[in-house]
């Protein structure tokens, strides 16, 4: 479902991603771990075309992200084509990024109406259905500020799901939450994994990685230095830097 080859990203003087290769199969849950500043967010942002790779390629479901090959040359996609690609790549951020002046239901409707061009009534129906699935049936007409962080993050998940994503990217979705709110969000993600959704999750929640992830990727200084079955990477890491990292977080 996701194939990354020799991905490099340079910001000015900073060579942030240094040759990332990653394959994620359809229906797999991959947790990405690694210390702060190692390039995890940049990698997700490249998959979602929020950043353009300096070198390398990313394919989602066989389609090259961000560029098209014409007459043997690479061309950046027009904004409309880019939006069409991004629509199917759901992203959930650490800080929710909801529209504060729109209700919960309107937040989940927005992309459906504007990007997917669904009718309002149909979009609201789908929003209410998804909000029910994430445990927010009683909050659809509230504003984000009236909800807890954990509830807001579940709205953000419903909003991404409303676009019928092929893959869901999560960037530290529980890092900004009070500890007692983390469980509800992880519960929603765990159920989503059970539905067969392909998921790439940057997280420090090692129990989630151990229990839910099929595979774990350890990122260090812009490279994936270890990638394999979660039990192996977390239980018997082969790279000294993975061992060092896990000793500190577990």
Binding site for ligand ADP (CB under 6 A): 11, 14, 16, 34, 36-42
Identity of the residue, 43 or 197, whose beta carbon is nearer to ligand ADP in the bound complex: 43
Identity of the residue, 38 or 153, whose beta carbon is nearer to ligand ADP in the bound complex: 38
Interacting residues of 149 by C-beta distance below 8 A, sequence separation 6+:
96, 176, 177, 178, 181
Partner from ligand ADP, Mg ion, none binding residue 38, C-beta < 5-8 Å depending on class: ligand ADP
Rounded least distance, CB 218 to ligand ADP, Å? 11
Partner from Mg ion, ligand ADP, none binding residue 55, C-beta < 5-8 Å depending on class: none
Identity of the residue, 30 or 128, whose beta carbon is nearer to ligand ADP in the bound complex: 30
Distance in angstroms (rounded) separating the CA atoms of residues 102 and 97: 12
Which residues in this chain contact Mg ion in the complex, by CB under 5 A?
40-41
Identity of the residue, 8 or 95, whose beta carbon is nearer to Mg ion in the bound complex: 95
Residue 26 near residue 37, CB atoms below 8 Å: no
Identity of the residue, 57 or 94, whose beta carbon is nearer to ligand ADP in the bound complex: 94
Partner from Mg ion, ligand ADP, none binding residue 241, C-beta < 5-8 Å depending on class: none
Distance in angstroms (rounded) separating the CA atoms of residues 69 and 42: 24
Residues β-bridged to residue 143: none
**Other Cβ atoms closer than 10 A to 65:** 21
For the record, the structure tokens of 36 come out as 């702060």
Chain-centre distance of CA 219, in angstroms?
16
Partner from Mg ion, ligand ADP, none binding residue 237, C-beta < 5-8 Å depending on class: none
Rounded least distance, CB 22 to Mg ion, Å? 16
Rounded least distance, CB 44 to ligand ADP, Å? 8
Instruction: Please state the φ and ψ torsions of residue 236, each to the nearest 5 degrees.
Output: -135, 65
Partner from ligand ADP, Mg ion, none binding residue 229, C-beta < 5-8 Å depending on class: none
Instruction: Please state the φ and ψ torsions of residue 233, each to the nearest 5 degrees.
Output: -65, -40
């Amino acid at each position: 479902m996701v194939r990354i080859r020799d991905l490099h990203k340079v910001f000015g003087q900073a060579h942030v991603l240094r040759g990332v290769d990653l394959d994620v199969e359809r229906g797999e849950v991959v947790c990405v771990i690694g210390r702060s500043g190692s390039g995890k967010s940049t990698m997700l942002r490249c998959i979602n075309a929020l950043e353009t790779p300096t070198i390398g390629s990313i394919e989602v479901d066989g389609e090259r992200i961000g560029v098209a090959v014409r007459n043997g040359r690479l061309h950046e996609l027009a904004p409309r084509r880019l939006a069409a690609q991004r629509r199917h790549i759901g992203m959930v951020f650490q800080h929710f990024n909801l529209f504060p002046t729109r209700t919960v239901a309107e937040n989940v409707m927005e992309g459906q109406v504007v990007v997917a061009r669904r009718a309002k009534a149909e979009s609201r129906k789908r929003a209410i259905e998804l909000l029910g699935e994430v445990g927010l049936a009683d909050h659809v007409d509230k504003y984000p500020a009236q909800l807890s962080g954990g509830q807001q993050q579940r709205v953000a998940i419903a909003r991404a799901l409303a676009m019928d994503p092929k893959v869901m990217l999560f960037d530290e979705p529980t890092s900004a939450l009070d500890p007692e709110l983390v469980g509800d969000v992880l519960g929603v993600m765990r159920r989503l994994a059970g539905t067969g959704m392909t998921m790439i999750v940057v997280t420090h929640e090692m129990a989630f990685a151990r229990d839910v992830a099929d595979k774990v990727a350890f990122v260090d200084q812009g490279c994936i230095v270890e990638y394999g079955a979660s039990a192996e990477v977390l239980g018997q890491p082969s790279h000294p830097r993975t061992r060092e990292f896990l000793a500190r977080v577990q």
